[in-house]
Amino acid sequence: MVRPVTHSEQGAATRPGERSFRRLRSDLALGVAAQREPRYEGAMARFLRVQHQGSPRFVELLDGALHLMDGAPWAGGKVLEETVHASSQALAPVVPSKIICVAKNYREHAKEMQGEVPAEPLLFFKPPSSLLDPGGNVRLPPSVERTDFEAELGVVIGSRASQVSEAEALKHVFGYTVVCDVTARDYQKKDRLWTRAKGFDTFCPAGPELVTDLEPDALRIHLAQNGETRQDGNTRDMVFSIAQVIAFASSFMTLEPGDLIATGTPHGVGPLASGDAIRIEIDGLEVLEFGVA
């Protein structure tokens, strides 16, 4: 069993843009994760996507090592004997056809944005080109005065979902990851639609891990900016549950395997500045760190 991340764990600080696998390296040293068989149903499994010999590859932590896979884990990718070093460059753990985001899904966040809690899930898109690899740098648009961070739990779809019920929705989830919904507030206020405000390149840091069989209903979400706590919420405070969001979204569009859903942010969002070091922790997931340029 993979040990969960706890917020009492303290590691050495990293420079903005430096990729960190402190917990992963610790687990590898301890020989955590014993079964050779993939554990995709009923037991937690951990995946990453890394740069290997010039190409992006999925890996799974098995037998205390990172084993290469011959495809995406949600697409039936098989585990190979070949392994990669834990220091391999981490990439965003998904290659989605779309990134679906949920607005105002925490009451306190809706209040801080001077908005009302919607009667049904309020969805918008971020383009896949907005994804940023762990340890990368969010690029602040020079034309924008305020660009904000928003820490969120990400949900990765594992099987096609179209018009699924709330009761069946979680069966279509493959796993979970950490996401930051970076937002250009100037354009969010100026534009009637949010495409420009949410869609800049690098505006969706994600990863580094993709974890299956995580109980998502009461996970702490914590964001630190230069070591100072800015957001400290819990998924139990979501207005609409993950199952409700999936059922609602699938009622009018098909969710494809590998699609990413950012489930909303707790209160405490704030502006980014050049040189910032951002660290997002969600219970049970590897820490997502990135810088700002």
Burial per residue of 56-74, b for 16 or more beta-carbon CB atoms within 10 angstroms, e otherwise: ebbbbbbbebbbbbeebbb
pLDDT in tens, 32-66: 433 334 444 557 999 999 999 999 999 999 988 99
Question: Which of these, 87, 118, 86, lies nearest to 105 by C-alpha position?
Answer: 118
pLDDT in tens, 189-242: 999 899 999 999 999 999 999 999 999 999 999 999 999 999 999 999 999 999
Fold classification of 99-292 is Fumarylacetoacetate hydrolase; domain 2 (3.90.850)
Residue 30: pLDDT band with limits 50, 70, 90: very low
Query: Is 154:176 a contact under the CB 8 Å cutoff?
Result: yes
CATH 3.90.850.10 range(s) for the chain read 99-292
* pTM of the predicted model as reported, rounded to 2 decimal places: 0.88
pLDDT in tens, 131-174: 999 999 999 999 999 999 999 999 999 999 999 999 999 999 99
Q: Is the peptide bond before 208 cis (omega within 30 degrees of 0)?
A: yes
- Taking the C-alpha atoms of residue 128 and residue 162, their distance in angstroms, rounded to an integer, is 21
3-state secondary structure the chain: CCCCCCCCCCCCCCCCCCCCCHHHHHHHHHCCCCCCCCCCCCCCCEEEEEEECCEEEEEEEECCEEEEECCCHHHCCCEEEEEECCCCCEECCCCCCCEEEEECCEHHHHHHCCCCCCCCCEEEEECHHHEECCCCEECCCCCCCCEEECEEEEEEECCCECCCCHHHHHHHEEEEEEEECCEEHHHHHHCCCCHHHHHCCCCEEECCCEECCCCCCCCEEEEEECCEEEEEEEHHHECCCHHHHHHHHHCCCCECCCCEEECCCCCCCEECCCCCEEEEEECCCCCEEEEEC
pLDDT in tens, 96-134: 999 999 999 998 887 877 678 899 999 999 999 999 999
